[in-house]
Chains A and B, each alone.
Chain A
Amino acid sequence: MSTVAHPTPPSTARTSFASTGSGLSFTGLLRSESIKLWSLRSTYWTFSLVVVAALGIAVLMSFAMSAGYDPATGAAMGIDTAQMFVIVSTSGLSLGQLIVAVLGVLSISGEYSSGMIKSTFSAVPNRLPALWAKVCVLFGFTFVVGLVSVIGSYLVAIPILGAKDITANLFDVDVILPLLGNVLFLALIAVFAIGIGTIVRSSAGGIATVLGIILLLPTVVGLFSMLVGWVADIVPFMFTVAGSEMITPNTMESWQAFLVVLAWVAVSLGTAALLLKRRDA
Chain B
Amino acid sequence: MIQAQSLTKHYGSKTAVDAVDFVVQPGKVTGFLGPNGAGKSTTMRMIVGLDRPSAGSVIVNGKPYHEHKAPLREVGVLLDATAVHTGRSAYNHLRAMAATHNIPTSRVHEVINLTGLESVARKRAGGFSLGMGQRLGIAAALLGDPATLILDEPVNGLDPEGVQWVRKLTRQLAAEGRTVLLSSHLMSEMALTADHLIVLGRGRVIADASVADIIASAAQNTVRVRTPHTAALATLLAQTDVTITNIEQDVLEISGLTVSEIGECAAAAQISLHELSAVSASLEDAYMKLTQNEVEYRTGDASSPTEAEAAR
Chain B: CB-nearest residue to A110 = B85
Task: Give the distance to chain B from A276, nearest Cβ to Cβ, in Å.
Answer: 12
Whether B101 contacts A22 by the Cβ 8 Å rule is yes
A268 to B226, CA, bound (A): 76
Cβ-defined contact, B73 with A16, below 8 A: yes
Shortest Cβ distance from A274 into chain B, in angstroms?
14
A251 within 8 A of B: no
A2-36 near B? 1/0 per residue, CB < 8 Å: 00000000111111111001111100110111011
Asked if B290 CB lies within 8 Å of chain A CBs, one says no
Q: Whole-angstrom distance between the alpha carbons of A113 and B92 in the complex? A: 18
Q: Which of B140-179 contact A (CB under 8 A)?
A: 140, 144-147, 176-178
Return the contact of A22 from the options B70, B80, B84, B85 (Cβ within 8 A).
B70
Chain B residues near A21: list those with CB within 8 A. Answer: 70, 73, 101-103, 144-145
A29 CA to B97 CA, complexed, in Å = 9
Q: Which residue of B lies closest to A281 (CB)?
A: B50
- A255-271 CB contacts (< 8 Å) to partner B: none
Query: How far does the alpha carbon of A205 sit from the alpha carbon of B87 in the complex, in Å?
Result: 20
**Count of inter-chain pairs, beta carbons less than 8 A:** 149
- The reply to whether the CB of A248 lies closer than 8 angstroms to some CB of chain B is no
- Check if A28 sits within 8 Å of B100, measured CB to CB: yes
Q: Is B79 an interface residue (CB 8 A)?
A: yes
Known contacts A125-B66, A280-B50, A24 near B100 by CB under 8 Å: yes
CB distance from B71 to the nearest CB of A (A): 5
Separation of A183 and B87 alpha carbons in the complex (Å): 28
Q: Is B194 an interface residue (CB 8 A)?
A: no
Minimum C-beta distance from B131 to chain A (A): 17
Q: Which of B48, B68, B70 has the most CB of A within 10 A?
A: B70
Chain A residues with CB under 8 Å of B80's CB are 115, 118
Q: A15-B1, A21-B70, A24-B70 are in contact. Are A42 and B27 (CB under 8 A)?
A: no
Is the C-beta of B229 less than 8 angstroms from some C-beta in chain A?
A: no
**B46-78 interface code vs A (CB 8 A; 1 in, 0 out):** 001111100000000110011011111111010
Q: Does B82 contact A (CB under 8 A)?
A: yes
Partner of B84, one of A10, A33, A42, A115: A115
Q: Does A275 contact B (CB under 8 A)?
A: no
Once the chains bind, are A24 and B101 in contact (CB under 8 Å)? yes
Q: A39–B84 contact, CB under 8 A?
A: no
A278 to B52, CA, bound (A): 8
- Of the residues A23, A29, A111, A119, contact of B73 by C-beta under 8 Å: A23
A126 at the A/B interface (Cβ < 8 Å)?
yes
Chain A: minimal CB distance from B47 (Å): 10
Q: How far is the CA of A40 from the CA of B92 in the complex (A)?
A: 9
| Contact (Cβ within 8 A) A15 B26 | yes
Chain A residues whose C-beta falls within 8 Å of the C-beta of B82 in the assembled complex: 114-115
Within residues 103 to 134 of chain A, which ones have a CB less than 8 A from any CB in chain B? Answer: 110-111, 114-119, 121-126, 130
Judge if B123 is at the interface, Cβ distance under 8 Å.
no
Task: Indicate the size class of the contact surface on chain A.
Answer: 35 or more
Assess the B83–A39 pair: CB atoms within 8 A: no
Q: Report yes or no: B73 in contact with A39, Cβ–Cβ below 8 A.
A: no
Given contacts A13-B27, A122-B71, A123-B72, contact A42 B77 (CB under 8 A): no
How many residues of B are in contact with the other chain, CB < 8 A? 50
How far does the alpha carbon of A154 sit from the alpha carbon of B229 in the complex, in Å? 104
B86 within 8 A of A: yes
Whether B83 lies near A116 (C-beta < 8 A) is yes
> Given known contacts A24-B71, A122-B48, A126-B66, is B99 in contact with A39 (CB within 8 Å)?
no
Q: What distance in Å separates the Cβ of B136 from its nearest Cβ neighbour in chain A?
A: 10
Complex CA distance for A110 and B92, rounded to whole angstroms: 16
CB distance from B11 to the nearest CB of A (A): 9
CB–CB A280/B51 < 8 A: yes
- Cross-chain contact B88 with A122 (CB below 8 angstroms): no
Verify if B96 is at the interface (C-beta below 8 Å from A). yes
Bound Cα distance from A24 to B96, whole angstroms = 13
Task: A239 to B191: give the CA distance in the assembly, Å.
Answer: 61
Chain B nearest CB, measured from A148 CB (Å): 24
The distance in angstroms between the C-alpha atoms of A13 and B148, with both chains bound, is 11
Does residue B291 face the partner (Cβ distance < 8 Å to A)? no
Closest chain B residue to A123, Cβ basis: B100
Interface set, chain B 1-56, CB cutoff 8 A to A: 1, 26-27, 45, 48-52
- B89 interface hit (Cβ, 8 Å): yes
Tell me which of B69, B71, B84, B101 has the highest count of chain A C-beta atoms within 10 A of its own C-beta.
B101
Among residues of B, the one whose C-beta sits closest to the C-beta of A116 is B85
Interface pair A18/B83, CB less than 8 Å apart:
no
B196 close to chain A: CB less than 8 A: no
User: B95 at the A/B interface (Cβ < 8 Å)?
Assistant: yes
Closest 7 CB pairs between A and B?
Answer: A23-B70, A39-B92, A125-B66, A32-B99, A115-B82, A23-B69, A118-B83
21 A-B pairs (CB sep. < 8 Å) = A12-B26, A13-B177, A14-B26, A14-B176, A15-B147, A17-B146, A17-B147, A17-B176, A18-B70, A18-B145, A21-B102, A23-B69, A28-B102, A36-B92, A39-B96, A114-B85, A118-B50, A119-B140, A122-B71, A123-B97, A126-B66
